[in-house]
């Protein structure tokens, strides 16, 4: 089963002979990673911002990196809309998965902290715990 005609039609517009965009993507990915690591180090040294804000930056930059890998390295940005949609639409389920499961985890924690007897002590007593042992 040969697919030469789709392959050839595809090649005409998508592949110029330069590797410029490949290296550009590489530098973007490297710069983002260096920035993330630098920020993590600065936070370790100076503790200059709220942890949730820092985590927000990390998650956002991760998604930016994911975009560049999928769009450029995996070439998805240059495919036709039908393919892009068939791959990306199902991934929208993740939005719901993440919200639902993390919220569930959080509520579980609150129940353990506030309601259930005999479970790990709330954080304000936690420092006493190691003394017992």
Partner 1 sequence: MDTAVTAKKKWWSGGHSPFNVSYGKLMMWYFLMSDAFTFGALLISYGTIRFMSTSWPDPNEVFHAFPGMGHADLPLVFVSLMTFILIMSSVTMVLAVHAGHMRDRKAVAKWMVWTIIGGIAFLSCQAWEWTHLYHSGAWWGRNPFTNVDGTIASTNFTNFFFTITGFHGLHVTSGVVLNIIILANVLKGTYEERGHYEMVEKVGLYWHFVDLVWVFVFTCFYLL
- Token duo for residue 25: 């993507």
Question: What gap in Å lies between CA 76 and CA 69, rounded to an integer?
Answer: 9
Q: Indicate whether 31 belongs to the interface with partner 1 (CB under 8 A).
A: no
Q: Which of residues 67-126 bind partner 1 (CB under 8 A)?
A: 69-70, 72-74, 79-80, 82-83, 86-87, 90-91, 93-94, 97-98, 101-102, 104-106, 108-109, 112-113, 120, 122-123, 126
Cα–Cα–Cα angle for 59, 68, 28, rounded to 5 degrees: 85
**Residue 57: partners with Cβ closer than 8 Å, 6 or more residues away:** 39
Q: Indicate whether 22 belongs to the interface with partner 1 (CB under 8 A).
A: yes
Nearest to 65 by CA among 20, 32, 88: 32
Q: Indicate whether 35 belongs to the interface with partner 1 (CB under 8 A).
A: no
HSE, side-chain direction, 13 A CA sphere, residue 102: 6
- Token duo for residue 85: 């949609």
Q: Indicate whether 1 belongs to the interface with partner 1 (CB under 8 A).
A: yes
Footprint on this chain of partner 1 (rule: CB under 8 A): 1, 3-7, 9-11, 15, 17, 19, 22-23, 25-26, 29-30, 33, 36-37, 40-41, 44, 55, 58-59, 62, 65-66, 69-70, 72-74, 79-80, 82-83, 86-87, 90-91, 93-94, 97-98, 101-102, 104-106, 108-109, 112-113, 120, 122-123, 126-127, 129-130
């Amino acid at each position: 089963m040969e697919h030469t005609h789709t392959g050839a039609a595809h090649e005409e517009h998508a592949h110029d002979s330069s590797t410029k965009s490949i290296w550009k993507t590489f530098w973007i990915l490297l710069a983002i990673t260096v920035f993330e690591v630098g920020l993590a180090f600065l936070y370790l040294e100076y503790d200059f911002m709220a942890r949730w804000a820092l985590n927000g930056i990390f998650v956002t930059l991760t998604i930016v990196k994911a975009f560049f890998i999928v769009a450029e390295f995996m070439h998805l940005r240059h495919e036709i809309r039908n393919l892009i949609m068939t791959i990306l639409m199902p991934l929208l389920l993740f939005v719901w998965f993440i919200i639902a499961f993390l919220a569930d985890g959080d509520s579980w924690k609150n129940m353990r902290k506030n309601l259930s007897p005999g479970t790990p002590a709330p954080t304000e007593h936690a420092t006493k715990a190691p003394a017992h042992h």
